[in-house]
C-alpha cells in the first residue's frame, strides 16, 4: 500500500507523466511481515519466529541461485557404428541418479488472500483466501521423463510431484492496519550425479554424467503442503 497520499504526489509532480507517478507510488510501497505461523498436528496455526522464517527464505533464494548456475558437465559418447549389438535385443539408453546432498528449503512466497483493512478499534481476523498448489521442479538440464524418473527413484525421501495448501485458519490484524496473508512453501531439495547409460543388448556402458538438482513439495501429517503463513502489513 502507498504510504503517501496520491494527491501529495501530484503536488510535487509538475510535468511528470502518469507513468512517472505510478513508478513513484510503486517505489514508496512498503510491506512488513509482522507475524509468521505454521500448521500444527491438530490443524491449527501456531506462531513461530518471524525473523528466523525470513532469514531462511533469503538463504534459500541465494542457495537456489548458486545451484542454478552450476554448469552441466555431461560428456556424451555416441556408440560407434561398428560396436557389436545383440541380434536378440534392441539397444536402449537409461539414466540413474546418485543423491549427494539433500536439504529442506523455502520456496517462493505467494499471496493467499486479498488485502483487508481493519477499520475497528479492536483486532480483526483475516482468513486464508485460497489454496496454493506447489509442484516439483528440476534443474534446466533435466528435460526428459527418463531423467526425472531416475531422480525420483534415487532420492532419500518420498517424492511428491505436486501438493496443495488447504488451511482455513484466520490471522489477527491490528486495528487501523491493512494486511494480506502470504505463504512460503517448504521443499525437499536434492542434488547429485545423473549418469547416462547405453545398453547394446550385450553390455552396458556409461555415456556421460552431469550435475542434477530437483525439489519436491513437502507434506505435513494431514496431507497439505508444509509451509509458513505470513501476516503482511501494507500500511
Residue holding cell 505510478? 22
CB atoms within 10 A of CB 90: 9
Q: From the DSSP assignment, how many helices (H) and strands (E) are in the chain?
A: 4, 13
Question: Residue 42's pLDDT is what?
Answer: 83
Question: What's the CA gap between 122 and 125, in Å, rounded?
Answer: 10
The predicted pLDDT at position 166 comes to: 78
**Which set of grid coordinates corresponds to residue 126?**
483475516
State how far the Cα of 140 lies from the Cα of 171, in Å rounded to an integer.
38
d(CA 117, CA 109): 21
> What does pTM read for this prediction?
0.77
pLDDT of residue 136: 95
* Average pLDDT along the chain, 235 residues, taken 10 residues at a time: 29 43 51 93 90 94 79 47 57 94 94 95 91 92 93 96 87 95 96 94 91 94 90 94
Distances (CA, A) of 103 to 55, 99, 127, 131, 157: 16, 11, 31, 25, 10
| Neighbour-count burial of 130, counting CB atoms closer than 10 A to its CB (0-12 exposed, 13-18 middle, 19+ buried) | middle
Domain ranges of the chain: 28-76+88-233
Whole-angstrom Cα distance, residue 126 to residue 82?
Answer: 70
Per-residue pLDDT at 167: 81
- Give me the pLDDT at residue 29, please: 62
Structure confidence by residue, pLDDT tens digits, 86-145: 556 688 999 999 999 999 999 999 999 999 999 999 999 999 888 889 999 999 899 899
pLDDT value of position 89: 66
Query: Distance between CA 218 and CA 142 in Å, rounded?
Result: 21
CA dihedral 113, 118, 122, 126 (to 10 degrees): -10
Amino acid at each position: 500500500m502507498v504510504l503517501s497520499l496520491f494527491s501529495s504526489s501530484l503536488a510535487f509532480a509538475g510535468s511528470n507523466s502518469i507513468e512517472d507517478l505510478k513508478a513513484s507510488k510503486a517505489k514508496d510501497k512498503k510491506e512488513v511481515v509482522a507475524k509468521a505461523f505454521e500448521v500444527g498436528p491438530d490443524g491449527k496455526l501456531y506462531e513461530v519466529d518471524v525473523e528466523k522464517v525470513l532469514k531462511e527464505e533469503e538463504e534459500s533464494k541465494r542457495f537456489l541461485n548458486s545451484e542454478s548456475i552450476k554448469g552441466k558437465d555431461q560428456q556424451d559418447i555416441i556408440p560407434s557404428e561398428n560396436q557389436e549389438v545383440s541380434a536378440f535385443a534392441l539397444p536402449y539408453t537409461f539414466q540413474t541418479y546418485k543423491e549427494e546432498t539433500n536439504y529442506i528449503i523455502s520456496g517462493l512466497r505467494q499471496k493467499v488472500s486479498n488485502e483487508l483493512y481493519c477499520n475497528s478499534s479492536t483486532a480483526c481476523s483475516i482468513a486464508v483466501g485460497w489454496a496454493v498448489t506447489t509442484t516439483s521442479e528440476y534443474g534446466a538440464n533435466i528435460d526428459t521423463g527418463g531423467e526425472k524418473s531416475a531422480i525420483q527413484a534415487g532420492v532419500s525421501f518420498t517424492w511428491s510431484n505436486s501438493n496443495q495448501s488447504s488451511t482455513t485458519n484466520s490471522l489477527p490484524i491490528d486495528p487501523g492496519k491493512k494486511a494480506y496473508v502470504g505463504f512460503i512453501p517448504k521443499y525437499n531439495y536434492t542434488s547429485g550425479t545423473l549418469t547416462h547409460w547405453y545398453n547394446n543388448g550385450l553390455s552396458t556402458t556409461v555415456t556421460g554424467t552431469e550435475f542434477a538438482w530437483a525439489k519436491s513439495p513437502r507434506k505435513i501429517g494431514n496431507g497439505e503442503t508444509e509451509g509458513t503463513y505470513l501476516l503482511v502489513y501494507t500500511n
